[in-house]
Amino acid sequence: NAGVTQTPKFQVLKTGQSMTLQCAQDMNHEYMSWYRQDPGMGLRLIHYSVGAGITDQGEVPNGYNVSRSTTEDFPLRLLSAAPSQTSVYFCASSYNYRTSGRENTQYFGPGTRLTVL
Amino acid sequence: GQQLNQSPQSMFIQEGEDVSMNCTSSSIFNTWLWYKQDPGEGPVLLIALYKAGELTSNGRLTAQFGTTRKDSFLNISASIPSDVGIYFCAGPNTGNQFYFGTGTSLTVIP
């Protein structure tokens, strides 16, 4: 298993540009999520999904869109990048304890470092 | 939003010393997770706790799920240089949202 993979590893954007951060997992996990990590602030949840076709907002959703058309993929879209979105982005996946009864410990991808100029 | 407070924020210790850190929540958690993050990497799960009062070990690491369900503790015994990193506590609320603490940065001096 490759686990959770993310692309790209690094990205530089200009203000107003759009882009999609890719995330994929091969563990058949129902639950997938996106976090951003800023210095001194830990990880904050942007959006999450409990299964294909279902998404919901996390703690800091503004400026980001997500979709979940398959179990494996959960892309994060920045429609019009802003300097405040400069951060490190992590994707994570887990089983959904509530529906599967299996442990819901999350496994993280390696991250995408995004700089918006 | 949910508040997970970790302390201390940073620690500088000598190799071989024991380490203790804790995490407190403003509300009850049914699961506590402890992660370690190395520079430039994603967090890696160390220990998962599922029951109040539970004490779980993973090598030199021991974590406990507080009896109030609003706190958790992580201890590292006989620290070594590779223990360096940032340690995060985390847990899901009742609505499937995960919250992370602000992290404890550990530096081990050889």
CB contacts of A104 in chain B (<8 Å) are 31, 92
Q: Which residue has the higher pLDDT, A64 or B95?
A: A64
pLDDT, position A111: 95
Q: Which residues in chain A are contacts of B2 at CB distance < 8 A?
A: 59
**CA gap A34, B8 in Å, rounded:** 26
Pair type for strands B10-14 and B71-76: unpaired
Number of Cβ within a 10 Å radius of residue B82: 8
pLDDT, tens digit, 9 for 90 and up, residues B70-107 = 999 999 999 999 999 999 999 887 667 788 998 999 99
pLDDT of A41 > 80? The answer is: no
* Subunit contact A109:B98, Cβ cutoff 8 A: no
**CA-based nearest residue to A33, from A47, A51, A19, A13:** A47
Q: State how far the Cα of A102 lies from the Cα of B55, in Å rounded to an integer.
A: 20
Residue of A60, A115, A106, A48 lying closest to A85 (CA atoms): A115
DSSP state of A73: B
The phi and psi torsions of A115 (rounded to 5 degrees) equal -120, 130
| Locus of tokens 């991808």 | A109
Interface test with A, best of B98, B99, B104 (most A CBs within 10 A): B98
- pLDDT category of residue B65 using cuts at 50, 70 and 90: very high
C-alpha of B73 from chain center: 6
Question: In angstroms, rounded to a whole number, what is the distance separating the alpha carbons of residues A50 and A68?
Answer: 9
pLDDT in tens, B22-31: 999 988 888 8
